Amino acid sequence: MLTVRHVNKTYHNGGFFSNNRQPVLFDVSFEMKSGECLGIIGESGSGKSTLGRLIVGIEKPDRGEILFQGQNVWSREARLGHISAVFQDYSSSINPYFTVLDAISEMLKIMGQCDKKELTHMVVNLLKQVGLNAEYCNKLPHELSGGEAQRVCIARAISTGPQFLVLDEAISSLDASVQTQILNLLKELKERYQMSYLFITHDIQAVTYLCDRVLFFHNGQVIEQSSVSKLSQIKNEYSKKLISSVIPFENIKK
């Protein structure tokens, strides 16, 4: 379903005349099957978010291609209604002038749904799915708590019934109990709609809970892939270090 082939990305740094380019992604390739959930872990600055931005077509790779169901994700039509995203920072993830109703119905309107009653009905339904009641419709973003805002973002992301969702540290900034709630919600949604997730995170426990397969990322390269059930058999030193640093009790067991 999603094919990432030899993707390279560099960022310009320096001024107008400078030609310095800092490489961020280097020859990244992987594939995702329909209905699969892929976790990406790596240390800060390893280029995970950059990869996420490339996959949702916000930025363009320097070299290589990213195909979604055979079409390049850079074209808007390939993504519209099929790909969606949830980002880490919930504080600016909803337009401050939009009510929750406006925010969630935005994509539905673009997809051609314009009957007002029908829209409200759909939004209330979506809110119910993420565990919020209909009263939230007329709230403004600054009146929501972090967890509520993140749920609204998820409702907005799934409003068009996408096959593929990119979650860039979507739960990292929430407290543990809300994290579990949202993980459960994502798992439920995945089973109900056969959605595929690209789950970018630092949190290996969340990955083992939600994902089928994990990519280890280091300095803009994929250094190892492993299915979640075989995490104990990984070979690369760096990925071992990543896992042990996140789950200290594995070391204690040894």
Judged by beta carbon, residue 42 or residue 141, the one nearer another protein is 141
Instruction: Give residue 235's identity as a one-letter amino acid code.
Output: K
Contact region with Mg ion (CB under 5 A), list: 9-17, 25-33, 49-57, 171-179: 49-57
Judged by beta carbon, residue 80 or residue 223, the one nearer another protein is 80
* By the rule CB under 6 A, 11 interacts with ligand ATP: yes
Angle, helices 146-157/176-193, rounded to nearest 10 degrees = 10
- Output the DSSP codes for 113-168: ---HHHHHHHHHHHHHHTT--GGGGG--GGGS-HHHHHHHHHHHHTTT--SEEEEE
Contact indicator for 226, 234 with CB cutoff of 8 Å: yes
* By the rule CB under 6 A, 218 interacts with ligand ATP: no
Quick note: the x/- pattern for another protein over 46-75, rule CB under 8 A, is -------x--xxx-----------------
Judged by beta carbon, residue 198 or residue 222, the one nearer another protein is 198
Instruction: Give residue 212's identity as a one-letter amino acid code.
Output: D
**Reduced to 3 states, what is the DSSP secondary structure of residue 3?**
strand
> How far apart are CB 71 and another protein at their closest, in Å?
12
* By the rule CB under 6 A, 14 interacts with ligand ATP: no
In the sheet where 221-227 sits, what is the strand order?
83-86, 164-168, 196-201, 37-42, 213-218, 221-227
Contact indicator for 78, 3 with CB cutoff of 8 Å: no
* By the rule CB under 6 A, 24 interacts with ligand ATP: yes
Contact region with ligand ATP (CB under 6 A), list: 44-52, 66-74, 113-121, 243-251: 44-52
Interface of this chain with another protein, residues 132 to 161, rule: CB under 8 A: 140, 142, 153, 156-157, 160
- Binding region for Mg ion (CB under 5 A): 49
